[in-house]
Amino acid sequence: MQTPPEDKTIIELFQRGGSHAHKAFHILVDQYGDVLYRQIRAIVRNHEMTNDILQNVLLKIYQHLGNFKGESALYTWMYRIARNETLNFLEKEKRRSGVDLDAPVLEILAGHHLLDHLDEERISAWFQEAIDSLPEKQSIVFHLKYFEEMQYNEMSKRLNTSEGALKASFHHARQKIEDFILQRLNHL
Amino acid sequence: MKENNTIWDHLRKRPVETPDARYFEALTTSILQEQKPKVVPIYRRTIVQIVTAAVAASIAIFIYFRPAPEPPAENVLLALQDIPHEDVLAYVHTHIDEFDIDMLAAAIPSENIETVEIAPASEETVIEIPSDAKADINFENIDNQDILEYLESEEVDLYELDI
Residue A90 banded pLDDT, cuts 50, 70, 90: confident
Give B33→chain A minimum CA distance, Å: 10
Instruction: Report pLDDT for A1.
Output: 45
Is A33 within 8 Å of B8 when comparing Cβ atoms? no
Q: Which residues contact A8 (CB under 8 A, 6 or more apart)?
A: A70
| B20 in reach of chain A (CB within 8 A) | no
Q: Per residue in B69-125, pLDDT tens?
A: 665 666 666 676 777 778 877 877 777 766 666 666 666 665 555 555 555 545 555
Q: Taking CB atoms and an 8 Å cutoff, what residues of chain A touch B13?
A: 105-107, 146-147
Q: Taking CB atoms and an 8 Å cutoff, what residues of chain A touch B30?
A: 55
pTM of the model: 0.56
Mutate to test the interface with A, among B7, B8, B12, B22 (most CBs of A within 10 A): B7
Residue A35 banded pLDDT, cuts 50, 70, 90: very high
CA distance A65 to A57: 12
Residue B1 banded pLDDT, cuts 50, 70, 90: very low
Q: Taking CB atoms and an 8 Å cutoff, what residues of chain A touch B19?
A: 37, 47
CA distance A59 to B35: 8
| B26 in reach of chain A (CB within 8 A) | no
Residue A141 or residue B41, greater confidence: A141
pLDDT mean over A108-119: 80
Instruction: Calculate Rg over the CA atoms of chain A.
Output: 18
* B68-102 burial code (b ≥16 CB/10 A, e <16): eeeeeeeeeeeeeeeeebeebbeeeeeeeeeeeee
Give residues 103 to 142 of A whose Cβ lies within 8 Å of B.
Answer: 104-112, 115, 123, 127
Q: Is the confidence at residue B155, as pLDDT, over 80?
A: no
Q: Per residue in A116-170, pLDDT tens?
A: 888 888 888 888 889 989 999 999 999 999 989 999 999 998 898 999 999 999 9
Give residues 64 to 103 of A whose Cβ lies within 8 Å of B.
Answer: none
* A104-114 burial code (b ≥16 CB/10 A, e <16): bbbebeeebee
A53 and A8 Cβ atoms separated by less than 8 Å = no
